[in-house]
Chain A
Amino acid sequence: MKPERSREEAPFAYQGLDRVIHERARLSVLTSLVTHPSGLTFVELKGLCALTDGNLARHLQVLEEETMVRLTKEDDAGRMLTTARITASGRKRYLEYLTVLEQVVRDAASLSREVEDSSGELSPALP
């Protein structure tokens, strides 16, 4: 296993970008769940994340295997209702991911500003 390098040595390594979360659908599911700590039903999640039944079920299974999400089935007037809730470890991993993601955007914004500034200095003044 490669040792983790410090941010000074490899500033754009972003080792905190969790592969499990770094997938659009799963990021969408976790963002929905982290802002609804009492949980969301399968149907509500499907609507919020614009996913098909099969896709959502597959991503929820991945998140459940990683113990980031807990799924419960409750009887609601004769039909089974699946509710997903984010776990404490899921919430922690999501927040760590968000911090790294924010750093990525900050770095990109700062580099972009530097490029804009230097191109402004190099380009000849318009008459």
Chain B
Amino acid sequence: MVDLDRALVDIRSIRRQVAQTTEFRGYGPATLFATAVLAVLAGVVQAYWVPEPAAHPAQYVALWITTAVVCAGLIATQMLTRANRLHSEMADEMIRMAVAQFLPAAAAGAILPFVLLHVSPAVFWMLPGLWQIIFSLGVFASCRCLPRMMILVGEWFLLAGLACIALGDNRSLAPLAMAGVYAIPMAGVAVIHLYEYRKAATDEA
């Protein structure tokens, strides 16, 4: 029995090693583009519904958390179907790895607004900048299994986050700071993924 259990552990270990050296194709270009559109819509909603976010921080957080949850739901749903189709035997391992790489950043991003709202409301204006920095760390953590150009996306979010913090006041809560900063690179990410998948499909043919 010990030998058989050891053999199963060895097979799982090979599978994990293969997953670590395989480019993850679970992120669908169309879904990524849809999240960029959703971010623009959320920016428009903010301009009308929360014109003064510093005065209504809870509404601002509710709007952007809702947008993030909808985007995450869309990405997760497509990830499950795409990964099963494109990675077949490796799908479970690759999804587990993709989630594990991004989850710490997602968890930090989810907790942060509640800390700022309830503990440090004076520095609430830092939220968009910190969200972008945290998102950049999630992208950097996922880069190993994504197309190489994704590192540029991580750098964009890091620089945008630092720029937001450098503003030093409530200007960082403007709709453009979230909608524009997210939508522009995500549309680019959709194009990168589409290009890489087509290239991979041509290579495999």
Contact = CB atoms under 8 A, between A and B. Distances in A.
B88 interface: yes
B1 interface: yes
Interface string A28-57: 000100111100000000000000000000
A93 to B, nearest CB: 11
Nearest to A96: B89
Nearest to B88: A95
A96 B17 CA distance: 16
A105 B4 CA distance: 6
B1 A31 contact: no
A31 B13 CA distance: 11
Output the residue of B5, B11, B204 with the most chain A CB within 10 A.
B11
B11 A105 contact: yes
B45 interface: no
A35 B17 contact: yes
Given A88-B203, A96-B89, A105-B7, A116 B18 contact: no
20 contacts: A31-B14, A34-B14, A34-B18, A35-B17, A35-B21, A37-B22, A95-B88, A95-B90, A98-B14, A98-B15, A99-B89, A101-B11, A102-B8, A105-B4, A105-B7, A106-B8, A108-B4, A109-B1, A109-B5, A109-B8
A37 B21 contact: yes
Contacts of B17: 35
A109 B4 contact: yes
Secondary structure dominating the interface of B:
helix
Interface string B26-41: 0000000000000000
Given A98-B14, A105-B4, 15 more contacts: A35-B18, A36-B21, A37-B21, A88-B203, A89-B204, A95-B88, A95-B89, A95-B90, A99-B89, A101-B11, A105-B8, A106-B8, A108-B4, A109-B1, A109-B4
Interface residues of B, number: 17
Contact of A112 (B1, B88, B203, B204): B1
Interface of B: 1, 4-5, 7-8, 11, 14-15, 17-18, 21-22, 88-90, 203-204
Contacts of A22: none
Contacts of B5: 109
B155 to A, nearest CB: 24
A113 interface: yes
Nearest to A88: B204
Contacts of B8: 102, 105-106, 109
